[in-house]
Amino acid sequence: MNILALDTSTEWCSAALWLDGRVLASEEHAGQRHSELILAMIDTLLSDAGIALTACDAIAFGAGPGSFTGLRIACGVAQGLGFATNLPLVGIGTLPAVALASGAERVVVCLDARMGEVYAAAFERTGSDWSTVRSPCLCSPATAPEVDGAGWTGAGSGFAAYGAALQTRYANHLAELRPDLHPHARDIASLAADRVRAGLAVPAEQAHPIYLRDRVALTVSERQALIAQQNTAAAITSR
């Protein structure tokens, strides 16, 4: 089974080819250049693998949550390729992709959602199967979903942006922190393989991003309140 995967949900841009379990991948820090980079990445991977896109069984993409523009780019590119080749699509959540990348068994994933919030979820692995312990949500670091017990890995950019608040929230639960992790096409490809085997790929017109937020900017008063909260938190942690 061959799967093309792509992700543009964060400032990173990545593409990967799943070739019967072997993975070829490419990644670049894109900033705002995802649309300039992603098609060239895909073309290079296909060329390196010596296959045409039509030799793939499905196209997977990072469906979100994440950057509004980034999610639209990934879904749009996947749909365009799907329509052109009649290949089905698989939208994969970015939070479980980060959980897989951590290599841990119990993972709290928090991605920086800006505006003083995080996209958060918790997952647990048994063998090769993942279960969702806390469903993906948009929340403040102080109200991130609770977990039980110890031995959890905290993964994702939320732990870099709001480390003090999240470590307080998960005091006595975290055994490891991986704030460096972000969604990557190789993990999206791996998760997509099971979905494709299960017959869960859909026609291109049915694919869609996963949005957890319905607005992209704070009001002036909200920005001022957030800055005041951040200044207060910084003052407390510096004592």
Contact 177, 154 (CB under 8 A): yes
pLDDT for position 221: 53
What is the distance between the alpha carbons of residues 120 and 166, in angstroms, rounded to a whole number?
A: 11
From first to last of its 239 residues, the chain has per-residue pLDDT tens of 999 999 999 999 999 999 999 999 999 999 999 999 999 999 999 999 999 999 999 999 999 999 999 999 999 999 999 999 999 999 999 999 999 999 999 999 999 999 999 999 999 998 888 999 999 999 999 999 999 999 999 999 999 999 999 999 999 999 999 999 999 999 999 999 999 999 999 999 999 999 998 654 445 553 454 455 445 444 433 44
Pick the CATH number of 95-178 from 3.40.50.2000, 1.10.3720.10, 3.30.420.40, 3.40.50.1370: 3.30.420.40
What confidence score (pLDDT) does residue 190 get? 96
Q: What is the pTM of this model?
A: 0.88
Q: Which residues make up the CATH 3.30.420.40 domain(s) of the chain?
A: 2-94+182-206, 95-178
Helix H or strand E segment including 19 = strand 12-19
What CA–CA distances, in Å, run from 106 to 96, 146, 155? 11, 13, 10
**Tokens 């060329």, located at residue:** 47
Q: What is the pLDDT of residue 215?
A: 52
Q: What is the dihedral of CA 17, 102, 143, 163, to 10 degrees?
A: -110
pLDDT in tens, 25-38: 999 999 999 999 99
Would you state the pLDDT for residue 228? 53
**Contact present, 111 and 65 (Cβ < 8 Å):** yes
Residue 204, token pair as written in the block = 């291109």
Place of tokens 């300039």: 36
Per DSSP, the residues of 68-98 read: HHHHHHHHHHHHHHHHHHT--EEEEEHHHHH
- pLDDT score for 213: 80
First to last CA, the chain: 56
Q: Which two tokens stand for residue 76?
A: 């749009």
Residue 120 host element (H or E): strand 118-126
pLDDT of residue 128: 83
Q: Could you tell me which residues are beta bridge partners of residue 91?
A: 61
Q: Is the dihedral of CA 96, 66, 63, 40 positive or negative?
A: negative
Crossing angle for the helix pair 34-49 and 68-85, nearest 10 degrees?
40
Tell me: the pLDDT tens digits for 174-195? 999 999 999 999 999 999 999 9
Helix 94-102 to helix 185-197 angle (10° resolution) is 110
- Given 3.30.450.20, 3.20.20.10, 3.30.420.40, 3.30.2130.10, which CATH number is that of 2-94+182-206? 3.30.420.40
Contact call for residues 134 and 121 (beta carbons, < 8 A): yes
Task: Write out the two tokens for 176.
Answer: 């490891």
CA gap 51, 42 in Å, rounded: 11
Angle ∠(161,140,225) on CA atoms, nearest 5: 85
